Structure 1
Amino acid sequence: MSFLVLDHLQKSFGTTKVVHDFNLHIEKGEFISFLGPSGCGKTTVLRMVAGFESPSEGRIVIDGQDVTGLRPNQRQIGMVFQAYALFPNLTVAENVGFGLKVAGVPRSERSGRVTEMLELIGLPDLGQRYPWQLSGGQQQRVALARALAPRPRVLLLDEPLSALDAKIRVSLRNQIREIQRQLGITTIFVTHDQEEALSISDRIVVMHRGVADQTGTPRQIYNQPATDFVAGFVGTLNRFESEVLDAASGRVRVAGTEFSLNRPLQSGKVTLAARPEGLTLADHGIAAEVVGAEFLGSVQRVRARVDGSEIVLDRFNAPSVALPEAGEIIHISPEGSNWLVLATDA
């Protein structure tokens, strides 16, 4: 049996159902991210695991124990919030040791554990400072140490990096992942930031309107989206409306250019899609008029128009490759591009 099981969870507030039949099996030591837009239900699921919300239906099992009816302090769960939620009148060391003190851990043992946690988060010399004397990133690391100090079975992180600036976010998310791997603790991380989820997760659950649209590894979510929503929400996606000419061979026409996908399709219309880095330029192919181009260091980003719709394509920068000019006609190679089939209307 999996270490953490979310079995047919549902949650309603009044007549509004915000989580619909949510199922997930998480292995011990796995790092799972819940990814989705605001209002999709990801934080509600997290709060049900924590015990702050009770499921309308379903159950939660941790290491073989049904904890659905237990209070938060009975579940052995550590939680880090978006707001640091540190006690301003307590020192860093006292904040980290607060849960241990409440649990009745002896002072000597508590002191050793606090020292261990401050070493773990890289703040061994700041134990006597107060939260207001720390940066935002340091405060969030203290909140992480406080959550980990009682040795929880599961760690829950509710958008813990959203209040930090971009550079600190990247550094801290990497540190969180390193600590999680070091401790081997089962972790659920809630975020609406795609890059965060893709960079640190073992698996990602993409949520939409209270359901899990797709669960998979970061590569699966990005390269093999299971639904139109996942394809559009995770990363940038270019869409091309096309006509199926031969369903058996997958021959289609896009903006006057015919080519074969070499896979069977339904007859009628089909929506093809490709990531910006999946579009290949060539001397001939689908014609596109350049709208603009940006130099992003290692990447050149080109915006172009195909049949009235704007697309984006990326190509690696090279000193010999100049940026195309607005109004210039470029061609997308249909054979060399990585196409996704999003939807088919018979």
Structure 2
Amino acid sequence: MSFLDLEHLEKTFGDTRVVKDFNLNVAKGEFISLLGPSGCGKTTVLRMVAGFETPTSGAIRVDGKEITRLRANQRNVGMVFQSYALFPNLTVAQNVGFGLKVAGVPSRDRAARVQEMLDLIGLPDLGNRYPWQLSGGQQQRVALARALAPKPQMLLLDEPLSALDAKVRVSLRNQIREIQQQLGITTIFVTHDQEEAMAISDRIVVMHQGIADQIASPQEIYNSPATEFVASFVGTLNRLPAEVTDPAAGRVRVGDTEIALERNLPAGRVTLAARPEAFRLAPMGIPATVTGVEFLGALVSVAADVSGTPITFVVFNGADEPVPEIGANIHLQVAPSRLMVQKAA
């Protein structure tokens, strides 16, 4: 049984439908990421769950209770914003305990809960500092502690890491996931960063133009995208034009190379799509010419030309085979199961 149900949510601003027939069922304790480009409606969905926006139509239920028309302060949810939104005139401890004070929690109980939260986020001795005395990562952890202090039913995070540098982002996203799993709290996380969503989510909702294009695990989103938008938006995708030579046998020709896909195909021209890691160097296969080499640490990204079409593939740095040099003529193979068939561009 799901804990959070979003049923046929719609949101219109003026003549613009920002969210269109959005449906989502979230299990208790699940970590869901809303992923998509700017303007796709992901933050609007989050704000409707939080109570900051009222749906034009549709319903929101938490644990079987409809909360669609309840005000934000009537919903037992914790919210973490991109901008931290800490009170500059209050200490860290006072910020964390603000919601508890508003709720009328006695000072002794409030102090104990604040210390518990500071221990949880790894800042046990910084309660007397002010926000301006903290780093960006520390401020966001304080914002997280403030959201969790009143023991909300759900945790909502609106791009909480986008203002931080890369190293701090990775560290903090892992900490958020650890805390979420430790508390078992149902969490909705909004981001436009696909790597972020892939790293910490139980499931991802890929949004596009106000709709959910696909709702699935990170592995399924990446390996089996449901739409061309999902395939293009999540990860890097190579596209090779191909001619179907035998639709029933699933045979196609890429340049002068024929590939058996072992599935039924439409007649005519198609586009074969594959992730960079699907290709491997081989003695025979699809001919290509190396046009660029980029070292990425453990991996090396290689750019190549296949019959006039640019692609990229990856090889391991330090593997037995040397990295191909620019200008080298090579051959590539790809497993038929790793090739996605799309309409011809």
Q: TM-score, length-normalised on structure 1?
A: 0.97
2-structure distance, mates of 1:265, 1:321: 35
One-letter amino acid of the structure 1 residue matched with residue 222 of structure 2: Y
**What does residue 332 of structure 1 align with?**
332
Q: How far has the Cα of 1:320 moved from its partner?
A: 4.0
Which shows bigger deviation, 30-39 or 323-332?
323-332
Native 8 Å contact 1:266 1:344 kept in 2: no
- For 1:146-295, what aligned pairs fall within 5 Å after superposition? 146-295=146-295
CA contact (8 A) 2:52 2:72 kept: yes
Deviations 1:21-48 (A, max 9, x none): 0000000000000000000000000000
Partner of 1:126: 126
Query: Could you tell me how far apart the structure 1 residues matched to 2:242 and 2:320 are?
Result: 34
The CA deviation string for residues 41-71 of structure 1, in whole angstroms up to 9 with x for no partner, is 0000000000100000101000111000100
Counterpart residue identity of residue 17, structure 2:
K
Q: What residue identity is the alignment partner of 2:114?
A: V
Greater Cα offset, 332-341 or 215-224? 332-341
Asked if the contact 2:236/2:275 (under 8 Å) is kept, the reply is yes
Q: Which whole-Å CA distance do the structure 1 matches of 2:4 and 2:65 have between them?
A: 9
CA distance in 2, matches of 1:300, 1:20: 41
Q: Cα–Cα, structure 1 residues 213 and 319, in superposed 2: closer, same or farther, change >3 Å?
A: closer
The CA deviation at 1:332 is 1.1
Runs of 4+ in 1 over 6 A off after TM superposition: none
How many residues end up aligned between the 2 structures? 345
Is the 8 Å Cα contact of residues 205 and 212 (structure 2) preserved in structure 1? yes
Looking at structure 1, the residues matched to 103 and 13 of structure 2 have their Cα atoms a distance apart, in angstroms, of 33
Is 1:87 matched with 2:87?
yes
* CA–CA separation in structure 1 for the residues paired with 2:16 and 2:289: 47
State which drifts further: 12-21 or 277-286. 277-286
Q: Any conservation in 2 of the 1:259–1:334 contact (CA below 8 Å)?
A: no
Are the aligned partners of 1:259 and 1:335 in contact in 2 as well (CA < 8 Å)?
A: no
| Amino acid of the structure 2 residue aligned with 1:249 | A
Distance 1:96 1:187, change over 3 A: same
TM-fit CA distance, 1:319? 5.3
Q: Which residue of 1 aligns with 2:61?
A: 61
Contact in 1 for aligned 2:91/2:128 (Cα 8 Å): yes
Unaligned runs of 5+ in 2: none
Residues 274 and 337, structure 1, Cα contact 8 Å, conserved in 2: no
SS of residue matched to 2:119? helix
For residues 163-204 of structure 1, give each alpha carbon's deviation from its aligned partner in whole angstroms, at most 9, with x where no partner exists.
000000000000000000000000000001111000000000
Q: Which whole-Å CA distance do the structure 2 matches of 1:67 and 1:344 have between them?
A: 46
Give 1:342 shift.
Answer: 2.6
1:44 paired residue number: 44
| Counterpart-to-counterpart distance in 1, 2:103 and 2:297 | 52
Structure 1 SS opposite 2:284: coil
Local SS of the residue matching 1:53? coil
State the SS of the aligned residue for 1:219.
helix
Letter in 2 for 1:108: R
Amino acid at match of 2:293: A
The code of the aligned residue for 2:7 comes to: D
Q: Report SS of the residue matched to 1:142.
A: helix
Q: RMSD in angstroms over aligned alpha carbons?
A: 1.2
SS of residue matched to 2:117: helix
Residue in 2 aligned with 1:323? Answer: 323
Asked whether the equivalents of residues 8 and 57 of structure 1 are also in contact (C-alpha less than 8 Å), the reply is: yes
Residues 280 and 336 of structure 1 are in contact (CA less than 8 Å); yes or no, is this contact kept in structure 2?
no
Q: Provide the rounded CA distance (Å) in 1 between the counterparts of 2:161 and 2:178.
A: 15
Instruction: Provide the C-alpha distance between the structure 2 equivalents of 1:334 and 1:269, rounded to a whole number of angstroms.
Output: 19
